[in-house]
Amino acid sequence: MKTIARQAGVTEATVSMSLANNSRIPAKTRERIQAIAGRLGYTPHPYVSALLRLRRQGRAVKDRPVLALVNAFDRADGWKNAEGPTVRQMRDGAIGQAALRGYRTEEFWLRRDDMSPERLSEVLHARGIRGLLLSPLAEGAATPALKWDYFASVCLSVPLAPLTITTVCNDHFLSCLQTARECHRLGYRRMGLVLRKMHRERFQGRWDGGMQVAPLLLPKIRLVKTLLLETWDAEAEFAAWFRREQPEVIISPGAEWFHPMLARMGVAVPDDVGLAGLACSHLGHECSGVYQDGRAIGATAIDTLVAKVERFEHGLPGQPVNIMLESVWNPGKTLRAVR
């Protein structure tokens, strides 16, 4: 700053105020000093600038910056009370990790009072919020038209093409392949995948893909026809599929729904058929399968967002980035060694 002041023939205070674009300094003087700073390669340190700004505003340095958690569900409590435990865990993990990184979180419902995404963007921007974490989208919803240039942003989702927002999610493809591999290790060969129809679109066929590649990597596997349900409680449809296809093991994110259905059909788990979940609620659950660890996904999303905030990476990147976390195997009690 001394070098800039010397070349401009002004005081260091004038340089400081000019670089802060303070209107007390004439516009022409500011422009001249900023041009000199540019030629000299001067760039302000963002952390120091933020600290000085807080002191000028008379705010305590202990004030923690806010990260916005944007709830994109249909209801105001749609994220907090989501049906899927993994989605709820993502929120909990994000809140906890933000606190560890020195940030506060505030949740904003995308649909509050019929507010448009553009209006919500203005509200967040006016409050000085520079980072936002977008929840998984409501079923069938389009990506919101937020003013992305205002923020550093991350979404808890598979990639959202054509939107190039950075995304963090489970590796659904590998989770299904991992489940098939564990079932194969126990001796299961005839495997059946059961999904809700919305899963194929939401997760871009990733669970299907993991299942389809399993016979290419694991010997003697035979896949039965995949069952796609509108809702998990479609018991008659499930029963007809089971009797027709006769799988040795059922692999599904809704595995816990099928245990009582099979019991009513007189089919014992795991004696008559194996059951493997793709989204176990926690490690140690009696249902065998993979645990996605939503808290780790949420925490990773916050770490990614904080890095973008602190690098002043506002707007959408030109090259989309997707961070995927592997699942953890939960042995459970619904599979057994069959060969």
DSSP state of 112: G
279-284 long-range CB contacts below 8 Å, 24 or more apart? 279/84, 279/85, 279/86, 279/253, 280/330, 280/332, 281/85, 281/86, 281/256, 282/85, 282/330, 283/328, 283/330, 284/330
Domain 66-170+295-325 falls in which CATH fold? Rossmann fold (3.40.50)
> pLDDT tens digit string along 254-264?
999 999 999 99
Q: Give the model's pLDDT for residue 53.
A: 61
pLDDT at 15: 87
Domain boundaries, the chain: 2-44, 66-170+295-325, 172-292
Query: How many CB atoms lie under 10 A from the CB of residue 74?
Result: 13
Assigned superfamily of 2-44: lambda repressor-like DNA-binding domains (1.10.260.40)
Nearest by Cα to 95 from 130, 71, 60: 71
Q: Counting beta carbons within 10 angstroms of the beta carbon of residue 266, is it exposed (0 to 12), middle (13 to 18) or buried (19 or more)?
A: exposed
How much of the chain exceeds pLDDT 90, in percent?
Answer: 78
Residue 305 near residue 65 (C-beta atoms within 8 A): no
Tokens 């919101």 found at: 144
Topology classification of domain 172-292: Rossmann fold (3.40.50)
Hey, do 66-170+295-325 and 172-292 end up sharing a CATH topology, with the first three levels equal? yes
Q: What pLDDT digit, counting tens, does each position of 173-202 carry?
A: 999 999 999 999 999 999 999 999 999 999
DSSP letter, residue 278: S
Predicted local confidence at residue 172, as pLDDT: 98
What are the pLDDT digits (tens) for 279-307? 999 999 999 999 999 999 999 999 999 99
Residues 26-64: tens digit of each pLDDT: 989 988 988 898 888 876 655 566 566 666 666 665 668
CB within 8 Å of 177: residues ≥ 6 apart: 210, 211, 213, 214, 217
Helix (H, G, I), strand (E, B) or coil at 193: strand
